[in-house]
Structure formats: structure tokens, C-alpha cells
């Protein structure tokens, strides 16, 4: 009999959705296993809400094709709505976003806040691990009065 994957092992993908395999222990003797499948638009929506709520982010912007330092794309399934691109490989994800920021925003601090918030959202809400959050600053604009 083949062992079921643990939350940190990738499993065969059977759908066009992100999948998280979980095990819950309600007590010392019971183990409950299951799989959560997340529609790509829900995964992207969660990330976009998380990013746009960060102070200093004005809006998400259409992105361009970005590649790793070696010229390749990250591995895994790709989900893309034109503003946010997510690569899902087992229970790990990589995110690419392009944003407009407010004039005067500290880019380094804002980037740290976005990465931290996306990591928390993906980890706590979805049980996924963030591999990378790549942020592209598309423009700097005057904040609305």
C-alpha cells in the first residue's frame, strides 16, 4: 500500500487547481487526511487582496513575462489573470505581481511587508508555502487626496 503524501510532499496533480494535502489529529489516536483544491481565481484573488491592502500600494498593474535569473520560468502549473501570476508546484507557490506605488513609499519596506503578508495569507489560509514573491514596481504615482 502506498503512503499518502504529507503536507510538505508534492502529490500528483489531478486537476487544474492548486492542491494542498493535509492531515489533522483531533486526538492522539485519530488521524484525518484530506485534500483541499483551490480554484486558481480564488488563489489569485487572495493574493491580490493581500497586496492591495498593503499601505503604499496604489494598484496592481498588468505584468510582463518575467524569468528566473537563468532565463527559465519557475516550475509548476501557471495561473495568471494578467496582473498576478502564480506558479504552483505541489504545496509551494511562487508569485509575480506588478504594482503602482505611492510617491514617498519606501520600496524596501513595502516589499518586505508584501512578502510577509502574502506568506502569512498563503500559509495560514491555504496551508501552502511561499517559495518567492517577485514584485515589479511599474510606476510611482501621487496618492489620491
Closest CA to 83 of 64, 58, 106, 109: 64
HSE, CB side, 13 Å, CA atoms: give it for residue 130. 19
**How many residues belong to the chain?**
145
What is the value of pTM for the model shown? 0.72
The domains found in the chain, sorted by start residue, are: 38-141 (3.30.70.1350)
Q: Per-residue confidence of the chain (145 residues) as pLDDT tens digits?
A: 344 333 333 333 334 666 666 666 778 888 877 777 778 888 899 999 999 999 999 999 997 765 555 666 777 889 999 999 999 888 888 999 999 999 999 999 999 999 999 999 888 888 888 999 999 999 999 977 6
Amino acid at each position: 500500500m502506498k503512503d499518502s503524501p504529507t503536507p510538505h510532499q508534492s502529490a500528483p496533480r489531478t486537476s487544474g487547481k492548486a492542491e494542498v494535502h493535509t492531515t489533522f489529529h483531533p486526538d492522539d489516536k485519530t488521524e484525518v487526511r484530506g485534500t483541499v483544491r483551490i480554484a486558481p481565481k480564488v488563489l489569485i484573488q487572495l493574493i491580490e487582496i493581500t497586496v492591495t491592502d498593503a499601505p503604499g500600494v496604489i494598484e496592481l498593474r498588468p505584468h510582463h513575462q518575467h524569468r528566473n535569473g537563468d532565463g527559465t520560468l519557475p516550475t509548476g502549473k501557471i495561473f495568471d489573470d494578467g496582473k498576478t501570476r502564480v506558479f504552483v508546484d505541489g504545496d509551494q507557490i511562487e508569485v509575480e505581481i506588478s504594482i503602482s506605488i505611492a510617491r514617498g513609499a519606501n520600496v524596501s519596506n513595502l516589499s518586505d511587508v508584501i512578502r510577509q503578508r502574502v506568506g502569512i495569507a498563503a500559509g495560514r489560509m491555504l496551508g501552502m508555502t511561499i517559495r518567492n514573491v517577485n514584485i515589479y514596481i511599474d510606476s510611482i504615482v501621487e496618492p489620491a487626496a
